[in-house]
Structure 1
Amino acid sequence: MTAEAPSVAQHGALVPVSVHFDDLDALGLLHNARYPLIIERAWTAYWEERGLRYEGDWAAAGDACNAVKELRLTYELPVNRTGAYAVHLWLERLGNTGLTYGFRFCSADGSVTYAHGSRVLVRLDPATLRPAPWSDLFRSLGRQLLRPER
């Protein structure tokens, strides 16, 4: 069973990722805990290509000073080999201090979905760790990833 594949051409970004031998479990399947890690790496690559990077200093991190509020992940098909794959990324919602992004872990061409889900992030003020608004630059870049309303 595969999930319905959203059209990559219509929204979001398809980011290449790799599955390595040490990502597999004892049965030769991509370990369930590796999916969120690989998806996070895809997001990091996406934002870094657009000039947004985290350098290890929360005060200077800007929009990278955020925390995960919720993660939902559904596994559809097992990944049972190393190699090239992709993560399809998009924003479902871009609020003042939070956002919800959607993702699919998929084949390199985006045609086969192995897992899909969403994650809610909250932008934080580095001094108080309370919700803080996204920057204008981040909001502008984020709007490009918004999924069209269904």
Structure 2
Amino acid sequence: MSEPARTALFRMPMALRWRDLDAFNHVNNSTFLTFLEEARIRWFESLQREWLNDTMMPLLAAVQLNYRAPIPYPADVEVSLFADRAGNTSVTIGHRIESPDGATLYADGHVVMVWIDPSTGRPIPLPDAVREMANAASAP
């Protein structure tokens, strides 16, 4: 059974670079994480509200990544992010890496981001911009 369609809170096209490849001439598995990181940072910046400063910063707490198919070179991909859950101090962000036409799923899964006070290393409430966007995107 396929998963129900979700509305992406952010989509980002990416062109592969030669340096992304491994000895088998496809994208190295660790590079998938770099693609996801870049998409998350671009999403946070697109909020045009504060999500990072001297008193708050996101910390990657968990990653779940299913490798579904190798990404060949040359190719373009699209990274999609989804709001899976917004908690008090964390947000679970679903992700998919696909071909631009959506015909090939290369990877999917989710990450958990926790906001902390960098001076103490302790969790703090999610920034309003992140919470509002995640709640709006996950609403039915």
TM-score by length of 1: 0.81
CA deviation after TM superposition for structure 1 residue 48, in Å: 1.6
Matching of residues 47-126 of structure 1 within 5 Å: 47-52=44-49, 59=54, 62=56, 65-126=57-118
| Regions of 4+ moved over 4 Å | 3-6, 52-55
Measure the CA separation in 2 of the matches of 1:122 and 1:101. 11
- The superposition leaves residues 71-127 of structure 1 with CA deviations (integer Å, 9 ceiling, x where unpaired) of 111111110113321011101110010111110111113332111111111110122
- The superposition leaves residues 31-54 of structure 1 with CA deviations (integer Å, 9 ceiling, x where unpaired) of 000001011101112222222577
Q: Which residue of 1 aligns with 2:133?
A: 141
Measure the CA separation in 1 of the matches of 2:45 and 2:76. 20
Unmatched 5+ stretches in structure 1: none
Tell me which of 28, 31, 55 is aligned to 1:31: 28
Identity of aligned residues (%): 28
TM-score by length of 2: 0.86
Unmatched 5+ stretches in structure 2: none
Letter matched to residue 27 of structure 1: F
- The aligned length equals 140
Provide the alpha-carbon RMSD of the alignment: 2.4
